[in-house]
């Protein structure tokens, strides 16, 4: 929960470029004027890297849909929803929130881990996790 591969949260776009090379596509997101992000998509590699514009475009979040992804040595995409909940609870994360999305997916979040899991029919299809970035350029990791 510190980043993806060798890349750590708080990294600059130049560091991401050195680590992963050029992205396949980029875009800017603006969620109701509150939070602006720049996103670099690495479609063939199964992830997207989000940069927080307010913190000077520092790496703050990653979305993964690569079936080989691991968390704590477990191939997370091979696990069912109940197994993922049990895994996170065994690591001390308890702030669980669930919601059925309008577009048909189910979101399962551990807010104290800053992670969201998206399921279609009990099959994990994507993970989104990140950190809060402080104005002081410090990275605030979950728990």
According to DSSP, the residues that pair with 46 across neighbouring strands are none
Q: Work out how many domains the chain is built from and give that number.
A: 1
What is the spatial distance between Cα 23 and Cα 105, in angstroms, rounded to a whole number? Answer: 27
At residue 34, the pLDDT reads 65
Low-confidence ranges of the chain (pLDDT < 70): 1, 31-34, 133-143
Which range of residues forms the domain containing residue 62?
A: 3-140
pLDDT of residue 31: 66
Q: Output the pLDDT for position 140.
A: 46
pLDDT of residue 134: 60
Q: Which of 11, 53, 48 is nearest to 34 (CA)?
A: 53
Closest CA to 116 of 45, 47, 36, 62: 62
CA distances from 59 to 55, 67, 88, 92, 137 (A): 9, 22, 24, 25, 11
Q: Please report the pLDDT score of residue 102 as a whole number.
A: 87
28 half-sphere exposure, CB direction, 13 A CA radius: 8
Task: Give the 3-state secondary structure of residue 16.
Answer: helix
pTM, 2 dp: 0.84
């Amino acid at each position: 929960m510190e980043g993806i591969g060798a890349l750590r949260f708080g990294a600059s776009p130049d560091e991401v470029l050195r680590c992963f090379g050029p992205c396949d596509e980029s875009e800017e997101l603006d969620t109701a004027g509150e939070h602006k992000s720049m996103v670099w998509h690495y479609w063939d590699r199964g992830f997207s890297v989000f940069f927080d514009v307010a913190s000077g475009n520092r790496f703050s979040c990653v979305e993964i849909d690569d079936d080989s992804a691991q968390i704590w040595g477990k191939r997370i995409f091979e696990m069912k929803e109940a197994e993922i909940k049990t895994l996170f609870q065994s690591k001390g994360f308890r702030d669980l929130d669930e919601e059925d999305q309008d577009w048909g997916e189910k979101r399962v979040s551990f807010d104290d881990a800053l992670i969201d899991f998206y399921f279609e029919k009990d099959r994990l299809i994507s993970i989104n996790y990140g950190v809060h970035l402080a104005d002081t350029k410090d990275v605030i990791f979950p728990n």
